[in-house]
Amino acid sequence: MNKNVAVILSGCGVYDGAEIHESVITLLRLDQRGAKVQCFAPNVAQLHVVDHYSGDEMDETRNVLVESARIARGKIKDVKELHVADFDALIMPGGFGVAKNLSDFAISGANCTVQPDVLSATQAFVKAGKPVGLMCIAPALATKIFGSGVICTIGNDHDTAAALVQMGAQHHECEVSEIVEDAERKLVTTPAYMVAQSISEAASGINKLVDRVLELSHPA
């Protein structure tokens, strides 16, 4: 296939970074489909650090790029180095890091802003007409990236969906094994662990998202 795909991570761990299962499933599916992958993350401090065993907040600081490097086995770059001309598509796994480190959605909700380097990188794909895949909570950034009217899903969480609608999105409820596509904007979304009760359930939708994003990356 020889497609080049950029993957933006938000740390390492569901409660304060990227959702590890979603990230690994994404990377695995891309590799299975013959795509070449480069991971990116912003070189900024995490909002906070959560003990994933106890669920308690920890009194320490960690860097989003350094933590994301754990998932990427060290093969990662600062998102400032993401040049859209080098890639055919972009995918962003979920995890609270998207809402805490790539944006402040976890704090500000519908009034959120996106980390400037991440916003610049993602909007470059929109301007270039290249496909984007967002999963789990990542579609919360869709209106900031694509503008009002964008079609997306976070599954069936009514409060989160209401925030997206308030921001200007058209939210479609979606089963974990399905995807929602905004054909005009070349955006593909799936709920993943916003709905999934197992890693297999998460994979069912993520694999479809990856496959569709790769299909959309072919010239019309």
Query: What positions carry a catalytic annotation?
Result: 136
Strand segments (E) across 22-159 = 36-41, 49-50, 57-58, 76-78, 89-92, 132-135, 151-152
Mapped onto helix, strand or coil, the DSSP state of residue 137 is coil
Count the residues in the chain: 220
Side-chain half-sphere CA neighbours of 157 within 13 A = 19
Name the amino acid, one letter, at 162. A
CA dihedral angle for residue 120, residue 121, residue 122, residue 123, rounded to 10 degrees: 40
CA dihedral angle for residue 190, residue 7, residue 150, residue 103, rounded to 10 degrees: 100
Q: How far lies 94's CA from each of 38, 80, 178, in Å?
A: 17, 20, 16
113 and 103 in contact (C-beta within 8 Å)? yes
